[in-house]
Structure 1
């Protein structure tokens, strides 16, 4: 019987495995992943990683491997306009540093992050099984039994579901969710441009939804482009000429000529919050616990916060000789994470509803609000530290750069 079985081999699942195994090497930890071996190497996307998460990667000993591929975000620019506006006034800017030499976030290619985490798993002796998925979950009392698609059955004192926003394991454990669809999709692609971005990220609030430009290494940027679902599907299916014409209308000419490169994909956007983060012998982490709108760029980073809190909960319980899968132990993790997650879900929901429209009175109110924040350095500093994950004094140790 395993001590810990993690379902899902993405950022969150691998991070959870490394966090627990490094702090408690005697615990047996295994990861199962539905995708075949090597599939992660074909992921063209990049993700925004906040400062607190980079501190956790430093504790894992892998930031030195990731850093050469990471693009620091040195500045954040926020505008609010119509797509057709010839000039987009800047209402809010944030400097990117939260402390000396540490920007509030980095853009990191997914292959660099997953590759480093997989190496850390290998070094720690964590087995990763590919091409299998959970098809059954049963709580037997002293352990959980997980039936897998290859016909095998695995027992563990604790199972952690990191299998995404449509988590099958969450459903099998009987954990309900609150969910609704925004009627929007996020188009994700990469853009090459003529002039350098100088590390600046931009978020343009447009009537159909936010249009985020996130800097990558070189003269490249990653886009998270929100449109109504039917329009997003049409754009993704369009030929390159039509797609780039629509892209240019939103991107503008500040970085010279642009060209869409690589794949373009559209992902449906909605809000999903698990009613419970834990049940006997199981805990949810990452998108299995919460799926939020990308308007704040915090979805993945909420998952890293889950990892830090759950790992500390597990390791502390183990050191006290407690059962790591007992519901009373897991309640500490739920208490630690549920309010923060609910707050972020409500915040992103309100922001999306407030900014994804062209109702003139509301537009005036929100622009005045952005302008006021821009003129209050103390409030701006708080917001940037909150976004970086460094504002909360009660944060888990890993997010402060401390070993558990």
Structure 2
């Protein structure tokens, strides 16, 4: 064990020396001479979105970091304004139990509930358990509530602030902002600046990534009836990609529809009425099903129903969509990305700057909040150990834990997307039989329902 510890320390030392540079050597693009004004801070978080705001709040609310100076940089010029009476946003998150527990710990969950959240108790089919699988919350509501909590710690994001370049000094990182009016000297730089992270590019951290040649089409849907119990999240796998309808209230749901590049332009050009017709057909039409495979599936189901206990199922129709909220229809390209390193000396990647996943399982932002939880736990332990929380020893622990979990999740969702993107008949038949078995076999159904709500 002692030899293993010595080997680990030597590897970390080698890794640190590989990326250490002299105080004069920049790690990014050459720029003008730095300004004379320099502000010393302990922790700088670049990116004031969902994950960056949660990271700042995790530090601010930790008793072990209450004496540390924290700076949150946000490139946007304004912050979201939310209220109960505003129209629903077209960008939402399906928060799992781990993310909700994090927000409760940070004191932000009650703020979110006071505005609006919607529980998901079932996925398409009737579930025997009454526990919520997730909560659907608008991105703007999450960000606004996190920032409101930050104000209680006298921390507000610095708007119009983006990292232009940074360079290593002896015991810190010097950051030059785009406005060139000030330098920051920070002990730790946390990149939460999205999947096109400029900080990751400046640090020359390579990535594994590919383009799915798909788009995610989103919109806020108006439902036909005032549904008193709109707590079902609907997802259907089509040959063109999955379509999901996530509950927002008794009158509204949120659409996330994965389509090929060639199809997304057509959908975006349709009138609202035509677009609504396409949504309803996508949820109800059986035109894409293969009769031979349906027959095989039904025959196999009749055999196993004689051998195993089956779960009682209640057939439900998806909600009927009557309209979409004005200007809520949008589309964004879908890609997979994973940084080959999440940590460098005094530098950490979190959220989409570290990894980006297909939206079909709704795990992307939950993985980002998992980064926040993992990093704050590790750095708090460093403080308890009396160590420098910027030490690469602890940052590598964060990387090891998150790479293991995130890469497994990325590849599993990627495989699932590929499985449902094929029209190869034998694969489609096996897929249909497998899903039918899970739906009928109560223990397996409970297991997968719990996995859907589990930690990322």
CA contact (8 A) 2:234 2:318 kept: no
Q: Does 1:132 align with 2:161?
A: yes
Is 2:351 the counterpart of 1:286? yes
Distance 1:15 1:38 in 2: 15
TM-score normalised to structure 1 length: 0.87
1:60 aligns with 2:106: yes
Spell out the pairing of 1:271-350 with structure 2 (5 A cutoff): 271-350=336-415
Q: Contact (CA 8 Å) 1:206, 1:357: kept in 2 or not?
A: no
Structure 2 residue aligned with 1:258: 322
For 1:30 and 1:211, the matched residues in 2 are separated by 39
Deviation, 1:291, is 0.4
RMSD: 1.9
CA deviation map 1:332-386 (0-9, x unaligned): 1111111110011001110000002322221111111112222343333333333
2:264 maps to 1:232: yes
Q: Which residue of 2 aligns with 1:34?
A: 75
Structure 1 stretch displaced more, 247-256 or 232-241: 247-256
CA distance in 1, matches of 2:129, 2:68: 39
CA distance in 2, matches of 1:97, 1:161: 39
SS of the residue aligned with 1:18? helix
The correspondence for 2:280, drawn from 248, 256, 266, is 248
Q: Are 1:175 and 1:275, in contact at CA under 8 Å, matched by a contact in 2?
A: yes
Cα gap change, 1:194 to 1:241, in 2 (>3 Å): closer
Is the CA contact 1:29–1:127 (under 8 Å) kept in the aligned structure 2?
no
Equivalent position of 2:117 in the other structure:
70
Q: Does 1:169 align with 2:199?
A: yes
Q: Which residue of 2 aligns with 1:221?
A: 253
Aligned 8 A contact 1:96 1:105 in 2: no
Q: Is the 8 A contact 1:20 1:314 kept in 2?
A: no
Instruction: Name the stretch that deviates more: 238-247 or 341-350.
Output: 238-247
Q: Tell me how far apart the structure 2 counterparts of residues 40 and 146 of structure 1 sit (CA, whole Å).
A: 30
Alpha-carbon displacement from aligned partner over 1:112-162 (angstroms, at most 9, x marks no partner): 211110111111222310112111122223111221111022111111111
Measured in 1, the distance between the counterparts of 2:212 and 2:364 equals 16
Q: Any idea what SS the aligned residue of 2:329 has?
A: strand
C-alpha separation in 2, matches of 1:341 and 1:371? 28
User: Is residue 203 from structure 1 mapped to residue 250 from structure 2 by the alignment?
Assistant: no
Select 1:154's aligned residue among 159, 184, 190. Answer: 184
CA distance in 1 between counterparts of 2:393 and 2:258 reads 41
How many angstroms does 1:39 deviate by? 4.6
For 2:321 and 2:99, the matched residues in 1 are separated by: 34
Secondary structure at the counterpart of residue 389 of structure 2:
coil
Which of 1 and 2 has greater Rg?
A: 2
Task: Render the CA deviation track for 1:17-67: whole Å, top value 9, x for unaligned.
Answer: 111221121121110011112356595422111111111111111211212
Q: 1:16 to 1:257 in 2, by over 3 A?
A: closer
The one of 48, 54, 58 aligned to 1:15: 54
CA spacing shift, 1:254–1:372, aligned 2, 3 Å: closer
8 A contact 2:351–2:369 mirrored in 1: yes
The runs of at least 4 aligned residues of structure 1 exceeding 6 Å deviation read none
- State the 1:277 CA deviation: 0.7
Instruction: Using the TM superposition, give the Cα deviation of residue 330 of structure 1 relative to its aligned residue in structure 2, in angstroms.
Output: 0.2
Q: 1:184 aligns with which of 211, 214, 220?
A: 214
Take 1:95 and 1:144, find their aligned partners in 2: how far apart are those partners?
A: 53
Q: Deviations over 1:208-261 (max 9, x none)?
A: 100011000221110110100121123113332332232222134742452121
Gaps spanning 5+ residues in structure 1: where?
Answer: 78-91, 393-404
Q: Please give the secondary structure, in 2, of the residue aligned with 1:34.
A: coil
Does structure 1 residue 382 correspond to structure 2 residue 411? no
Number of aligned residue pairs: 373
Give 2:290's aligned residue.
Answer: none
In 1, Cα distance between equivalents of 2:350 and 2:199: 12
* 1:340–1:96 CA distance, 2 compared to 1 (3 A): farther
How many Å separate the matches in 2 of 1:284 and 1:11? 14
Distance 1:303 1:54 in 2: 13
The alpha carbon displacement at 1:97 in A equals 4.7
Q: Report the TM-score when normalising by structure 2.
A: 0.78
CA distance in 2, matches of 1:46, 1:284: 23
